[in-house]
Amino acid sequence: MPLIAHSNLPAFQRLRDEGETILSEDRASHQAIRELHIGLLNMMPDAALEATERQFFRLIGRSNQIAQFYLHPFTLPSISRGNDALKHISEFYKSFEEIKSNGLDALIITGAPVDKANLSEEPFYEHLKEVIDWSYDNVTSTICSCLATHAVMEFRYNKKRQPIGEKCWGVFPHEVIARQHPLLKGINTRFNVPHSRYNEISLHQFADAGVEVLVKSDIGAHMCVSRDLFRIVFFQGHPEYDSISLLKEYKREIAAYLSNKRSDYPLFPENYLNAQNRAILDEFKDKLLSTEFNLSNFPETLIAKTLDNTWRDAAGAIISNWLGCVYQVTHEDINRPFMDGVDPEDPLAIK
């Protein structure tokens, strides 16, 4: 079954308008199909808050139609927000206390913008740790994306992220190195993933923590799993990104340059824009710096029509496999085949 619109969250109507199948809660109540309740801890900044909802909702809605999917967005009160975002959150998001009270089958935790060199100094750090600690004992599986991966690796595995100098961003080819893992069933052995980060947990750090790397590339590890092979799934990249996400991010970087929040004009995301798009953006830069143009002249619509998406199919298949495994564990009480060879006494193993 598809996503269930169990609230008036605008993302549901936006996805309907895009052609996605969204079922009303009234219609869903007449279907004799089990439910999966999935939390979305959305820590993204205000400008990307609703887009992030749609990105993850879309991935889940297009996945293996094994259940009725109920999505429950929430955020952390320690994340600074503007008035519009606060209103959206107040109307459509749940509190963490409500999430804990009602329970979840699975959880997705997004990335987040940070200002501090040390994650432990971020205002949301302790709140995020509380969510992770709760989910570890009460949720079948949790996906951590980007910054969430770095935070969990720090406070659960004592592995601090390392700065990599220049921003790593663009679309990069990746290789599957754990082909037998159920999360990678039916996945191409090579596929692309978008990245956008200044820091990383290295391959060595993941290995030293006993975390298994499933997918890697020349820029490091992308997809990993906790020692029990399922309880925590780590992404360093952004498989949820829309085709236009990096273009919008490039525009935000230009805005940061114009407002003196960064000292240099941003470079293009790697392996993302074709030659014609780069030429158009170079011309825009020249006219912007000469003051003939301003940011409102950014050619977003023109370029968006020509962007390729070379990661969506793999991302969708991985999420589909993940939800299938969650469903099997929560509803079919299977003998978890992904646990073969795992020491049941291991403190990191699924209880």
pLDDT in tens, 5-32: 888 888 888 888 888 777 777 655 545 5
| Mean pLDDT, residues 132-157 | 94
* All residues at 6 or more sequence positions from 186 whose CB lies less than 8 Å from its CB, including other chains: 317, 321
Which long-range contacts does 287-295 make (Cβ < 8 Å, 24+ apart)?
288/254, 288/258, 289/265, 295/251, 295/254, 295/255, 295/258
Task: Quote the tokens at residue 191.
Answer: 């596929």
Read off the pLDDT band of 343 (50, 70, 90).
very low
How far from the centroid of its chain's Cα atoms is residue 130's Cα?
A: 19
Q: What is the pLDDT of residues 20-72, one digit of tens each?
A: 777 777 655 545 578 899 999 999 999 999 999 999 999 999 887 778 999 99
In the chain, residues under CATH classification 3.40.50.880 are: 3-241+311-339
Specify the pLDDT at position 108: 98
Specify the pLDDT at position 29: 53
Pairing of strands 220-225, 232-235: antiparallel
Selection from 95, 235, 213, 80 nearest residue 151 by Cα: 235
Q: What is the pLDDT of residues 101-121, one digit of tens each?
A: 999 999 999 999 888 889 999
Residue 51: other Cβ atoms inside 10 A? 17
Specify the pLDDT at position 2: 67
Residues annotated as part of the active site = 146, 238, 240
CATH of 3-241+311-339, picked from 3.30.2130.10, 3.40.50.880, 3.20.20.100, 3.30.450.20, is 3.40.50.880
| Mean pLDDT, residues 237-265 | 96
| Mean pLDDT, residues 154-165 | 94
| Mean pLDDT, residues 78-83 | 95
User: Do the Cβ atoms of 212 and 227 come closer than 8 Å?
Assistant: yes
Residue 229 above 90 pLDDT? no
Specify the pLDDT at position 19: 81
Residue 351, classified by CB atoms within 10 Å of its CB into exposed (0-12), middle (13-18) or buried (19+), is exposed
| Mean pLDDT, residues 154-178 | 95
